Chains A and B, each alone.
Chain A
């Protein structure tokens, strides 16, 4: 199924793409930190708890910023046993109800409750409880609402495209740049 692009999706999708691509460089950084930490500890006999904590800071940031990017690329884990026999219209209806009744409520709960979670951390000047750990814990905690905000934008963009396909079908032409491959999870549009 090729979803048409909408004015909203044309505005936000390139940004989701760009943010996801920037975030991807975090993996190189993570790899470098791990190697540096191993070398420091075993060659120079110096332990760095900061380096240990930076590792999960990087990985958490990477996967959270990637959530919206993955949704945009329709990279997902799904069971296609029946799905692949669905007509495109039925698939679109599933997407529509899924986004409205499942995805958006989940995003809403995480967003609503993660903001106070970050604020508390900020208000108390929370730092790592490990010896020599990292300060500014609110900053890494803020990645949770930030990641889900991007996910929200991606979900709304996709919703607008499903909507266009279902209700404005004839008027909106498929946008080649953002066309999906069938079931292309993981190997979705690059």
Chain B
């Protein structure tokens, strides 16, 4: 087990065991070895253990070790495990609006999302949505944009998107499909091989540092930006509601505090580590490119279409989308004026 598992239960001394107030299993949906996306729970659980003098002992489990990666919310809901740390986008089959909390194409930027969650009513909506699932949800991690993907051939116009065989998940995948791409959902383990042999032309995956560690740069030399499909990606700790309600208020606050710190530290790590990777691209034969404006505009148009359709089908989706749009409209006044333009 990588560092961060903390003291294995077998080595906890009698004294410590007596003082322990919380002793949860925390299955993860990403490997802790995955930089930025996977390592944040190590930080959060260590913080909790240290700041509580060992009384809040939450033990992390790698994906599949106890709970399959995509089944975390459901296992927590049923109380099979006390808590989990996951990307809520995996729930969108059962809870369509979870996608809005997890990552939205052409959605909010990281600090914008944090502002909506903490100050703009997002947290109330998110907690209410998951309370219906018998789950208390705590915002616990946040990363910046992902890359728009790894391509074998350059993308110069919308024509290059049409017929493109690409692996793409979630709402972004729906958008790509509608824009004319041939979208596939190959299992994670086959992406590399399929891309290398040309069974697919492109794939979306994660942050540059993650993708590089997995070796995508070796089989596809065009890496595109900006990460339109995921301008911000949030992670949450999900806690069984009954377990949460039985938790002492002081410990609840401790967990919320550690998670809020986790959001900040996760974002800091996510922002800090990508530049060096992109700077090193020429050395490994990769070209970083920007998607043409007309492609982005078209993708944005399709995204709005898809989001509206989803909102028409699901009341929660409509409510959360409306809240996000309202917040963004007001935030736009500030965003457009206060910051230097990106090309300044």
User: Which A113-166 residues sit within 8 Å CB-CB of chain B?
Assistant: 116, 120-121, 124-133, 137
* Docked-complex contact B185 and A130, CB < 8 angstroms: yes
Distance of A86 from chain B, by nearest CB (Å): 37
What bracket does the count of chain B residues touching chain A fall in? 20 to 34
Q: Using a Cβ–Cβ cut-off of 8 Å, how many residues does chain A contribute to the interface with B?
A: 21
Whole-angstrom CA separation of A116 from B78 in the bound complex: 9
- The reply to whether A41 and B177 contact each other, CB–CB distance below 8 Å, is no
CB contact between B174 and one of A52, A121, A131, A137 (< 8 Å): that residue:
A131
The answer, yes or no, to whether B125 is at the interface (CB within 8 Å) is: no
CB distance from A47 to the nearest CB of B (A): 3
Complexed CA–CA distance, A116 and B79 (Å): 13
Nearest-neighbor residue (CB-CB) of A130 within chain B:
B185
* Interface status of A49 (Cβ within 8 A of chain B): yes
Q: Which residue of A lies closest to B178 (CB)?
A: A131
Q: Is the contact region of chain B dominated by helix, strand, or loop, or is it mixed?
A: mixed
Q: Tell me, rounded to whole Å, the shortest Cβ–Cβ distance linking A46 to chain B.
A: 6
Is A45's beta carbon under 8 Å from chain B? yes
Asked whether B30 is an interface residue with its Cβ less than 8 Å from the other chain, the reply is no
Stretch at the interface among B90-98, B151-159, B286-294, B325-333: B90-98
The total of Cβ contacts below 8 Å across the A-B interface reads 60
Residue of B91, B93, B181 contacting most chain A CB atoms (<10 Å) = B93
Q: Smallest CB–CB gap between B191 and chain A, Å?
A: 13
Q: Give the Cβ gap from B21 to chain A, nearest Cβ, in Å.
A: 29
Cβ of B93 and Cβ of A131 under 8 Å apart? no
Residue among A41, A124, A130, A131 making CB contact with B94, cutoff 8 Å:
A124
- Complex Cα distance, B70 from A137, in Å, reads 14
Instruction: Write the chain A residue with the least CB distance to B71.
Output: A117
A43 to B89, CA, bound (A): 33
Beyond A49-B184, A52-B185, is A129–B163 a contact (Cβ under 8 Å)?
no
Residues of B within 8 Å of A116, CB to CB, are 78
Mark contacts of B145-184 with chain A using CB atoms, 8 A cut-off: 1 yes-contact digit, 0 otherwise.
0000000000000000001010011110110110001111
In the assembled complex, which residues on chain B have CB atoms less than 8 Å from the CB atom of A125?
94
CA distance in complex: A132, B181 (Å): 13
B109 interface residue per 8 A CB criterion: no
Contact call A41/B165, Cβ cutoff below 8 A: yes
Let me know if A45 and B183 touch, CB within 8 A: no
Report if A129-B182 is in contact (Cβ < 8 Å); known contacts: A45-B165, A116-B78, A124-B95.
Answer: no
A sample of 9 more A-B contacts (CB under 8 A), given A127-B93, A129-B91, is A41-B165, A45-B165, A47-B182, A47-B183, A120-B74, A129-B93, A131-B177, A132-B173, A132-B177
Closest CB pairs A-B (n = 4): A47-B182, A131-B173, A129-B93, A131-B174
Query: What are 14 A-B contacts defined by CB distance under 8 Å?
Result: A45-B165, A47-B181, A49-B183, A49-B184, A120-B77, A120-B94, A126-B93, A126-B94, A130-B185, A131-B177, A131-B185, A132-B173, A133-B93, A133-B185
